[in-house]
Amino acid sequence: MLDILGKRYYFFALSLLVILPGLIILAINGLPLAIDFSGGTILELQFPTTNLPPTEEVVQIYNEMGFREVQVQTAAGPSGQRDILVIRSPFMDEEAKNKVVSTMEERFGVEQITVNRFDSVGPVIAAQVTNRAALAVAVAALAVVLYITYAFRGIPHAFRYGVCAIIAMIHDILVVFSITGIGSVLWGWQMDSLFLTALLTVIGFSTQDKIVVFDRIRENSAFLRKLPFEKLANHSIVQTLQRSINTQLMTVEFMLLALALFGGVTLREFAVILLVGLFSGTYSSIFVAAPILVVWENKEWRTWFRKQNASA
């Protein structure tokens, strides 16, 4: 039989190796919040030619109108040519937007600039969205602890199962944040409403997978009670391993991989975050949640420093 739990500290180290680089990037650069959470305006302009105006001149037009902290990026249109400007700025209304477009047409000698997208979110609404997003995640975490504690009330230390599920769920959230932080540097990703949708979806799938693994541990504890807890948990994980892998890979991961590769630029970030997040949910159910439960049941932290002292 596979000895998965015997290598639990290697899996913990692997998780840290995946999570830390992205978190370091976020700590240095800050969260790449889109206008959904930070407030502001995003204006996407399509030019009739690929000869786009210099970024500095576009920023200068905004500065003349009193807008600071303006970011300008180029993007490829449906034809595959880079004829689109994506401009992020502080909040502006419809009148200011029309003035920006007309000024560009006049200054750059362009007959007609097409506005593909114009989204504005005020700072008050952005703050409300941010607060409610954090509240949604907190309520979900609390509901998981209460449900697992109630459903597993017939076995000793039922509360530990809920706490371990939450720790593993935090692991998945950190993986999502880490991959977004790396993506913000490499591809200019931002945390927007689609990011929040992906994050909540990952939490839901992750929790479901952990309940399946813990439920098998609960079932086996009724007739394998003479086994040490580590062996009982390892046996339960092996029993659910095929189900977890087949369910995730066959029904979700391959579909998301196809969407990430061929679904277009608009959905690519969403698909990649879901792809990595759901894979992390399956991984953490097997290699994080149950191993943490075993560490807690065995109270292994008592021997961590003792081993170091002995080796010293």
Domains of the chain: 5-34+125-301 (1.20.1640.10), 40-121 (3.30.70.2040)
Selected residue with higher pLDDT from 110 and 127: 110
Which residues are registered as beta bridge partners of 42?
Answer: 88, 119
Range picked from 150-154, 209-213, 244-248 for highest mean pLDDT: 209-213
Is residue 227 within 8 A of residue 258, CB to CB? The reply is no
Residue position matching structure tokens 């807690």: 296
Which segment of 10-14, 104-108, 201-205 scores lowest on mean pLDDT? Answer: 201-205
Q: Both tokens of residue 22?
A: 């992205």
Q: Is the model more confident about 306 or about 286?
A: 286
Identify the helix (H) or strand (E) that includes residue 269. helix 265-284
**pLDDT > 70: percent of the chain:** 94
Q: What is the average pLDDT score of the chain?
A: 86
Angular region, 299: left φ>0, alpha ψ -120 to 50, beta rest: left
pLDDT at 312: 45
List pLDDT tens digits, range 235-284: 999 988 887 777 766 678 888 888 888 876 678 889 999 999 999 998 99
pLDDT band at 20 (very low <50, low <70, confident <90, very high): very high
Return the pLDDT at 138.
84
Beta-bridged to residue 87, according to DSSP, are 43, 72
Go through the chain and tell me how many residues it has: 312
pLDDT at 283 (0 to 100): 92
Confidence tier at 137 by pLDDT (50, 70, 90): confident
The pLDDT of 93-109, averaged and rounded, is 91
In the chain, % of residues over pLDDT 90: 31
Range picked from 70-84, 143-157, 194-208 for highest mean pLDDT: 194-208
Q: State the pLDDT confidence band at 147, using cuts at 50, 70 and 90.
A: confident
Distance CA 200, CA 277 (A): 10
pLDDT of residue 57: 92
Record the tokens describing residue 232, joined without a space. 């009982």
pLDDT at 305: 67
Distance CA 271, CA 246 (A): 19
Least confident of 14-28, 39-53, 256-270: 256-270
pTM score, whole prediction: 0.81
pLDDT band at 1 (very low <50, low <70, confident <90, very high): low
CB of 11 within 8 A of CB of 287? yes
How far is it, in rounded angstroms, from Cα 57 to Cα 35? 23
pLDDT at 306: 64
70 confidence band (pLDDT: 50, 70, 90): confident
Q: What is the pLDDT of residue 295?
A: 92
pLDDT of residue 309 exceeding 70: no
